[in-house]
């Protein structure tokens, strides 16, 4: 229950104010009853010509009324303040932490998960306000009940007013439930619209958009997405307003009927004028009370659009972290075993990897090859623990990988073909690969060295502290290849990994740089293999690297079709042999100049060695 959680957090953040608010809720309700009874006493005393009693009653009523008004104000402000503090200091950081610490990628790639995340992120204050609004609901209900008791004392038939609240409340709940569901439905288009705007504003993407003269089209798509999202929300608002309006009309009708009824009681002498004035006051207030009740219920329901996703995030992060407490080994002894692993992307119809079985001995270098879309990167993501296999098991030294999470992630160094361009200092852009040691300049230099990128530090005006990226004050932009080297160095920050993953990490580099990097990485892999039994997994189009691997894994449409060393696979004469030969033919053809008008930019000396 979110309101209970909010109260507990508020208590932890500010005990005094929490007590003030809860105390005021009780006092105000007592003062409210006193005001109503006081008004009746004043009027009846005046009617009976008892001026002293009338004056005393007026004084008590005025004080009770003043206390109610001041209490309302203080309570409202204090509650807003606590909700804001709890939202910003407790919920927002927790939400950020839960989202950032999720071990896999499913929450970012499955649309329904991403929608919930986008609804809850940065909405901690709304969540806290929703919790306090629930306290408001309780307070408003107490006030309405007190009113009903006072009305019943005048005539029990007035209790029928209570019945009117049920349809009004139900209509309002429907109205706001509809709004919450619309927010969730619109979230996907809102995300799309934000993404398309990023595409036309972020330097990396905008170049391609400009080159294709697609700016207008992207903007049209963004506008269409915005219109769909806003259409969903506007339609839901109109329907909700109609429902809430119908609820209000029911209440007003009851108000009029009640007044006519009491006037008749007074006219027939069954009740006093004091009773009439009290009923007029109470019923008049009842309307605003019910409106307030409906308003606070609406706040709770609006917050429910966030509480639902918040609850989901909590339970999802608990499930995602179901890993055991097993300690991480310091070194691999047997290696990684993949047993009958299949994997289907969230929301996808067909599996992307099917029944892969593979033993990777500790200390080995494995190359994964296959056509585009054959599942190479997916296999790498599974090894990194970004996704759990849909079926089958992944064992690290005989231990299921999920029992080692999240520590397994800390034992991995990885560089991918898609890389982030973090616009911070060079030191931070590399150091973030091992966050606890981000300030260790020597470690950052060693990572740059392992990635053949030491020249970056010497070329940049302020060395490691140079801001990289054009958006920073004094920032220096890097070339595509330099950015890739930064990403590679980031992947090399950890100096004692048990698994090195390289998924086409040099695609943006020229052949000599690529050659130098692979020579260094090969040396690094061997050193780490000896010391820690570290396994290296490389996805590469570079056959000189592939052929020197201890084990080559050939994937074809998600299935493992061939497995062995270069010589073994060439001996089989299957897919690998054909790929290798095609590569050599294309390469030599290009080198001879029969590339059909395509200028070959990589010469034999630039890194390829096929024999």
Q: Nearest approach, Cβ of 569 to ligand ATP (angstroms)? A: 18
Taking Cα atoms as reference points, which of 106, 116, 555, 556 lies closest to residue 348? 106
Smaller CB separation from ligand ATP, 418 or 567: 418
Q: Nearest approach, Cβ of 557 to ligand ATP (angstroms)? A: 8
Taking Cα atoms as reference points, which of 302, 2, 307 lies closest to residue 182? 302
**Pattern 364-393, binding to ligand ATP, x per CB under 6 A?**
------x-xxxxxxx---------------
Q: Which of residues 50-109 bind ligand ATP (CB under 6 A)?
A: 109
CB neighbour class for 213 (10 Å; exposed up to 12, middle 13-18, buried from 19): exposed
Instruction: Provide DSSP, 19-78.
Output: HHHHHHHHHHHHHHHHHHHHHHHHHHHHHTT-HHHHHHHHHHHHHHHHHHHHHHHHHHHH
Smaller CB separation from ligand ATP, 356 or 447: 356
Indicate whether 408 belongs to the interface with ligand ATP (CB under 6 A). Answer: no
Smaller CB separation from ligand ATP, 49 or 372: 372
User: Which token pair is 114?
Assistant: 């991403």
Q: Which of residues 106-135 bind ligand ATP (CB under 6 A)?
A: 109
Smaller CB separation from ligand ATP, 28 or 374: 374
Contact indicator for 6, 132 with CB cutoff of 8 Å: yes
3-class DSSP state for residue 103? coil
Contact indicator for 417, 507 with CB cutoff of 8 Å: yes
Q: Nearest approach, Cβ of 374 to ligand ATP (angstroms)? A: 4
Contact indicator for 324, 403 with CB cutoff of 8 Å: yes
Give the CA radius of gyration of the chain: 35
Q: Report d(CA 548, CA 553) in Å as an integer.
A: 13
Q: Report d(CA 611, CA 543) in Å as an integer.
A: 10
Smaller CB separation from ligand ATP, 139 or 374: 374
Smaller CB separation from ligand ATP, 132 or 416: 416
Smaller CB separation from ligand ATP, 381 or 427: 381
Q: Which of residues 336-365 bind ligand ATP (CB under 6 A)?
A: 345, 348, 352
Residue 551's DSSP bridge partners are 366
Q: Nearest approach, Cβ of 355 to ligand ATP (angstroms)? A: 15
Taking Cα atoms as reference points, which of 384, 311, 305, 317 lies closest to residue 107? 317
Smaller CB separation from ligand ATP, 229 or 352: 352
Smaller CB separation from ligand ATP, 370 or 491: 370
Sheet holding 399-400, edge to edge: 353-361, 335-343, 391-396, 399-400
Contact indicator for 444, 450 with CB cutoff of 8 Å: no
Q: Nearest approach, Cβ of 576 to ligand ATP (angstroms)? A: 15
Which residues bind to ligand ATP, rule: CB under 6 A?
Answer: 109, 345, 348, 352, 370, 372-378
């Amino acid at each position: 229950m979110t309101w209970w959680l909010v109260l507990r957090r508020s208590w932890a953040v500010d005990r005094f104010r929490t007590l003030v608010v809860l105390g005021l809720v009780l006092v105000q309700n007592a003062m409210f009853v006193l005001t109503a009874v006081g008004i009746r006493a004043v009027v009846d005393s005046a009617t009976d010509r008892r001026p002293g009693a009338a004056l005393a009653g007026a004084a008590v009523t005025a004080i009770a009324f003043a206390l109610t008004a001041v209490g309302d104000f203080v309570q409202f402000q204090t509650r807003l303040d606590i909700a804001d503090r709890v939202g910003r200091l407790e919920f927002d950081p927790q939400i950020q932490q839960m989202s950032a610490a999720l071990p896999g990628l499913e929450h970012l790639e499955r649309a329904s998960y991403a929608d919930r995340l986008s609804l809850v992120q940065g909405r901690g204050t709304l969540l806290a306000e929703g919790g306090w609004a629930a306290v408001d609901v309780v307070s408003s209900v107490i006030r309405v009940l007190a009113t009903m008791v006072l009305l019943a004392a005048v005539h029990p038939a007035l209790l029928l007013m209570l019945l009117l609240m049920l349809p009004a409340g139900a209509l309002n709940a429907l109205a706001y439930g509809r709004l919450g569901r619309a927010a969730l439905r619109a979230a996907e288009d809102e995300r799309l619209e934000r993404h398309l705007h990023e595409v036309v504003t972020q330097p990396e993407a905008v170049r391609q958009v400009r080159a294709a003269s697609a700016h207008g089209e992207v903007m049209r798509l963004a506008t269409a997405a915005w219109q769909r999202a806003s259409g969903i929300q506007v339609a839901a608002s109109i329907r909700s307003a109609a429902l809430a309006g119908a609820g209000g009309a029911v209440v007003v009708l009851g108000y009029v009927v009640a007044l006519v009824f009491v006037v008749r009681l007074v006219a027939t002498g069954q009740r006093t004028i004091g009773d009439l004035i009290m009923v007029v006051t109470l019923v008049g207030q009842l309307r605003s009370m019910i409106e307030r009740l409906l308003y606070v219920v609406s706040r709770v329901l609006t917050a429910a659009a966030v509480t639902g996703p918040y609850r989901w995030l909590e339970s999802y992060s608990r499930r995602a972290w179901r890993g055991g407490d097993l300690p991480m080994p310091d070194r691999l002894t047997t290696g990684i075993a993949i047993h009958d692993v299949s994997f289907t992307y969230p929301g996808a119809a067909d599996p992307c990897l099917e029944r892969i079985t593979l033993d990777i001995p500790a200390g080995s270098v494995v190359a994964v090859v296959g056509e585009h879309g054959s599942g190479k990167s997916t296999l790498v993501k599974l090894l990194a623990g970004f996704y759990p296999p849909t079926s089958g098991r992944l064992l690290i030294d005989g231990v299921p990988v999920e029992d080692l999470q999240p520590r397994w992630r800390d034992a991995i160094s990885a560089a991918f073909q898609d890389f982030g361009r973090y616009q911070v200092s060079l030191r931070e852009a590399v150091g973030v690969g091992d966050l606890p040691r981000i300030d260790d300049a020597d470690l950052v230099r060693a990572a740059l060295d392992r990635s053949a990128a030491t020249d970056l530090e010497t070329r940049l005006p302020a060395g490691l502290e140079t801001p990289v990226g054009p958006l920073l004050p004094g920032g220096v932009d890097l070339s595509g290849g330099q950015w890739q080297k930064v990403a590679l160095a980031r992947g090399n920050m950890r100096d004692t990994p048990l698994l090195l993953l390289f998924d086409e990490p040099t695609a943006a580099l020229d052949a000599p740089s690529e050659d130098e990097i692979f020579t260094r990485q090969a040396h690094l892999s061997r050193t780490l293999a000896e010391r820690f039994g570290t396994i290296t997994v490389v996805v590469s189009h570079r056959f000189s690297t592939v052929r020197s691997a201890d084990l080559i894994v050939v994937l074809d449409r998600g299935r493992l079709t061939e497995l062995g060393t270069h010589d073994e696979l060439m001996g089989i004469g299957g897919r690998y042999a054909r790929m290798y030969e095609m590569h050599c033919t294309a390469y030599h053809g290009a080198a001879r100049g029969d590339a059909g008008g395509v200028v070959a930019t990589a010469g034999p000396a630039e890194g390829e060695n096929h024999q």
